[in-house]
Structure 1
Amino acid sequence: MLYQIISLLLEVVVGIFGGACLLRLYMQLLRIPMSARSGNPLGRFVFALTDWIVLPLRRVLPSLGALDTASLVAAFVLQLAKFALLWLIAGAGGSLFFLPLLAVFGLLSMAISGLTVAVIVYAVLSWLPTSSVISGVMARLVEPLLTPIRRVLPSVGGIDLSPLVLLLLLQVAAIVLGGVRGGVLGA
């Protein structure tokens, strides 16, 4: 029972901070302004959550083009720390070799979950007649993923089904990831 509680707490904490690192990576990849001057509250929130780990890493890890390697490595390190702590709490049984692999699978799972949440928030905000900064940011995050789907699937009766299709694709990706993880790790 204690292991489950600690596991849940680690999942939440690493999910928040690691997810913010991945969001920072994705927003920078899409060139979404995140500074205080841009008026983007999500960007300020992401900076506040991630600067403590990303900025020191940025001193030693240069970006690769538009890819912010410091944010990616920060998210990976957080996942690795989570699995290392869980491994120690469980009695340090088994090989340490699997911890980095678990961290990679955790990172991919977190990315899929984050995109799923972003699509749901985008869809809900699209139903509301608002022109807030957040709805604009969500549109910039999600629409690059919806554009290829919209090319193939036109609106049906004036209803855009591309967010639903993207959600289904993300769920399929999560299932495939789980299957691959089980096959590779035997779990």
Structure 2
Amino acid sequence: MLHQILAFLLEVAVTLTGGACLLRLYMRWQRLPMGNPVGRLVQALSDWLVLPLQRLIPPRGGLDAASLLAAWLLKLVQYAALLGLLGLSGWAALPLAALLGVARLAVSVATAVVIIAAVLSWMQNRTVVLDVFQRLCQPLLAPVRKRLPLVGGVDLSPLVVIVALQVLGIVLGSLQAGLLSGGAALVGVS
């Protein structure tokens, strides 16, 4: 039971911080200012790790490679801790498993962004937060919106994107589990 609790707490910490790192990367790529409430939250969660890495790998154009590296390092540490805690083998596959973990985390972040934007769009008030999430979602939803007509006046593109992201997450999880002996134990918590 203690192993499960520690694995869960580690997962929560890595998901929050790593998700913030990936959202920071995506916001920079979308050229969104960080002075809004979403940007300030992302910075508060990720500055401690990303800023030192940016001294080594400064951002260039729309790419913040330090944020991506930070997310990968977090997943690497998480999976190394879990392998050590559970006494499992599979250390050689750890860097690739962490990369797949980052991809799965990116899928989770994208899913959360789409869900939050959809829920906020049902509210009557236009807010800065809604505008940020709609701008973040636009590249994900636009290709689906072009091909999928409104159904009874309802935009189903968020649902289609969420289903596609979940399928992608399942595929990535399966690849990740195949890399590690005892991979199900790591991927189940992922």
Shared fold (TM-score, shorter chain, > 0.5): yes
Q: Which runs of 5+ in 2 are unaligned?
A: 184-190
Corresponding residue number in structure 2 for 1:25: 25
The residue that corresponds to 1:159 in the other structure is: 154
Secondary structure (helix, strand or coil) at the match of 1:97 reads helix
Partner residue of 2:186?
Answer: none
The runs of 5 or more residues in structure 1 that have no matched partner are: none
Partner of 2:135: 140
Q: Secondary structure at the match of 2:152?
A: coil
Could you say which residue in structure 2 is the equivalent of 1:150? 145
- Letter of the 1:6 partner, please give it: L
Mark the CA change 1:182 to 1:79 in structure 2 (over 3 Å): closer, same or farther.
closer
The aligned counterpart of 2:67 is 71
Counterpart of 1:43 in structure 2 is 39
Identity of aligned residues (%): 52
2:50 maps to 54
Q: Where in structure 1 do 4 or more consecutive aligned residues deviate above 6 Å? A: none
| TM-superposition CA deviations, 1:73-121 (whole Å, max 9, x none) | 0111111111111122223x41421221221121111111111111111
Greater Cα offset, 154-163 or 135-144: 154-163
Contact 2:90–2:179 (CA under 8 A) maintained in structure 1: no
Rounded Cα–Cα distance in structure 1 between residues aligned with 2:119 and 2:82: 36
Cα distance in 1 between the residues matched to 2:47 and 2:176 = 31
Cα-Cα RMSD: 1.4
Q: 2: distance between equivalents of 1:70 and 1:86?
A: 24
Q: Is the 8 A contact 2:113 2:137 kept in 1?
A: yes
Q: What amino acid maps onto 2:103 in structure 1?
A: L
Give the 3-state SS of the residue equivalent to 2:91 in structure 1.
coil
Pairing partner for 2:164 from 161, 169, 181: 169
Between stretches 81-90 and 161-170, larger displacement belongs to 81-90
Measured in 1, the distance between the counterparts of 2:163 and 2:90 equals 35
What do residues 41-69 of structure 1 show as CA deviations (whole Å, max 9, x unaligned)? 11011111111111111111133542100
- Of structures 1 and 2, the one with the larger relative CO (CA 8 A, separation 6+) is 2
Instruction: Return the alpha-carbon distance in structure 2 between the equivalents of residues 67 and 60 of structure 1.
Output: 14
Equivalences, count: 182
